[in-house]
């Protein structure tokens, strides 16, 4: 399965093409739109989200809500394009307007402008923007629907915002409730503290990051491989997570915590109870690069958004003189958006791994082959 995305943040639309879907997968468009809307939600989002109301339009590959096995093409329109047409139009755009030369530390602006030989960092930021992730949520939702047909579920929650950290461990059923809360946090006291922090940062013109935990339940063992580095499930899922804008760290199971513990404290002891089981799940459901049948547990660290309303010291690349980086509008935090995006990219990467093992041109074949696995 492959997803290619295209589209600029203030261009006409975001588009995507998914190749490799089997036929007869039932597509739930309302569910895709629900996740698109969740990606836009969350405490700490900025004014742009009041302009957009993301909805998917499927252009090909689906007939009467069933996939055809052909490439599935889709688009999500940018409503803000109407305000940017004269700046962003493919033909006749006024490129002197809305130039960005006071490059923002932490964004792709400066390195991208040098690499792509651009005097205006707008030609970089438009594509580097996290707006692109709306297309990945669409792809991820379709992958989620493929996995759900096999009984595999994906969920997650926000574990920290800035320095406010929820240290608790939650059952999958509790994690499913996270999206009922404004910050997708499960600890209500800490969520209230996090909201206060974000209110203060909005006044200060600053931003915050956070930690997101993603869980996968119901996957049989043996997905991924120990035979070649490039086919290891943890490597594939972590690469998918690291491909998301603003993600700077990722861990599986105990992750960094495993480094300071003893072997006897870390490794999950095995017993037999009608099937092989583990007493604990410190490995986060992956051993030797393969799913082991336990829940997959992944955590990602998101850095604070690099557009700060109060600005940071930088250089104006038009003159090479000192300047303040500009921010017209910015999210204070986008940890809830990141939670939805990470669920989506994990779903897509996992669906690809599953479909590589199972093959199958239609869902009947896929389901038969999955059921036949030990």
Measured CA to CA, the distance from residue 299 to residue 240 in angstroms comes to: 12
Q: Is 145 helix (H, G, I), strand (E, B) or coil?
A: helix
Report in angstroms how near the CB of residue 199 gets to ligand EPS at its nearest: 18
Tell me how far, at minimum, the Cβ of 306 lies from ligand EPS, in Å: 7
CB 191 to ligand EPS: min, Å: 21
Binding site for ligand EPS (CB under 6 A): 9, 46, 48, 52, 125, 129-131, 134, 307, 329, 331, 337
Least CB distance from residue 198 to ligand EPS, whole Å? 15
Least CB distance from residue 50 to ligand EPS, whole Å? 10
> Residues with Cβ < 8 Å from 289, sequence gap 6 or more?
224, 225, 226, 229, 231, 232, 233, 234, 235
Phi first, then psi: what are they for 352, rounded to 5°?
A: -65, -45
Task: Give whichever of 290 and 337 is closer to ligand EPS, judged by the CB atom.
Answer: 337
Alpha-carbon distance of 308 to 329, in angstroms, equals 8
Let me know how long the chain is.
Answer: 374
Residue whose CB is less far from ligand EPS, 14 or 27? 14
- In the complex, the smallest distance separating the C-beta of residue 131 from ligand EPS, rounded to whole angstroms, is 4
Which H or E element spans position 373? none
- CA 209 – CA 230 distance, rounded (Å): 30
Please check whether residue 244 is in contact with residue 345, taking contact to mean a CB–CB distance below 8 angstroms. yes
CB of 29 to ligand EPS, least distance (A): 19
- If the CB atoms of residues 23 and 307 are measured against ligand EPS, the closer one turns out to be 307
DSSP bridge partners of 6: 15
CA 11 to chain centre: 21
- The CA radius of gyration of the chain, in Å to the nearest whole number, is 22
Closer residue to ligand EPS, CB minimum distance, 1 or 76: 76
Helix, strand or coil, per DSSP, at residue 278: strand
152: tokens are 């595999």
Nearest residue (CB) to ligand EPS, 161 versus 363: 161
Q: Which is nearer to ligand EPS, 8 or 191 (CB)?
A: 8
| Of residues 118 and 231, the one with the C-beta less far from ligand EPS | 118
């Amino acid at each position: 399965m492959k997803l290619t995305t295209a589209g600029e943040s203030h261009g006409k639309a975001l588009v995507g093409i998914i190749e490799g879907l089997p036929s007869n997968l039932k597509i739930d468009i309302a569910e895709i739109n629900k996740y698109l809307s969740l990606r836009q939600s969350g405490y700490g989002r900025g004014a742009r989200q009041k302009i957009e109301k993301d909805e998917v339009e499927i252009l090909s590959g689906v007939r009467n809500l069933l996939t055809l096995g052909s490439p599935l093409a889709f688009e999500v329109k940018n409503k803000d394009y109407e305000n940017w047409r004269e700046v962003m139009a493919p033909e006749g755009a006024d490129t002197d307007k809305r130039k960005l030369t006071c490059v923002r530390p932490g964004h792709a602006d400066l390195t991208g402008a040098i690499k792509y030989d651009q005097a205006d960092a707008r030609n970089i930021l438009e594509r580097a923007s996290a707006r692109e992730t709306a297309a990945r949520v669409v792809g991820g939702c379709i992958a989620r629907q493929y996995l759900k047909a096999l009984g595999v579920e994906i969920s997650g929650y926000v574990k920290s915002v800035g320095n406010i950290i929820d240290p608790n461990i939650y059952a999958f059923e509790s994690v499913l409730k996270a999206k009922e809360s404004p910050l997708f946090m499960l600890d209500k006291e800490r969520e209230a503290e996090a909201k206060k922090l974000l209110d203060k940062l909005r006044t200060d013109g600053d931003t915050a990051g956070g930690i997101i935990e993603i869980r996968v339940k119901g996957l049989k063992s043996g997905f991924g491989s120990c035979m070649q580095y490039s086919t290891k499930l943890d490597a594939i899922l972590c690469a998918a997570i690291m491909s998301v804008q603003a993600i700077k760290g990722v861990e599986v199971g105990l992750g960094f915590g495993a480094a300071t513990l003893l072997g006897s404290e870390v490794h999950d002891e095995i017993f037999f109870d009608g099937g092989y089981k583990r007493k604990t799940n410190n490995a986060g459901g992956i051993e030797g690069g393969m799913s082991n049948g336990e829940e997959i547990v992944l955590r990602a660290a998101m850095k604070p958004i690099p557009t700060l309303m109060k600005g940071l010291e930088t250089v104006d690349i038009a003159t090479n003189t000192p300047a303040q980086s500009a921010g017209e509008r910015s999210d204070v935090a986008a940890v809830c958006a990141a939670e939805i995006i990470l669920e989506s990219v994990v779903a897509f990467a996992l669906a690809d791994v599953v479909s590589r093992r199972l093959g199958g041109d239609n869902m009947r074949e896929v389901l038969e082959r999955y059921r036949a696995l030990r």
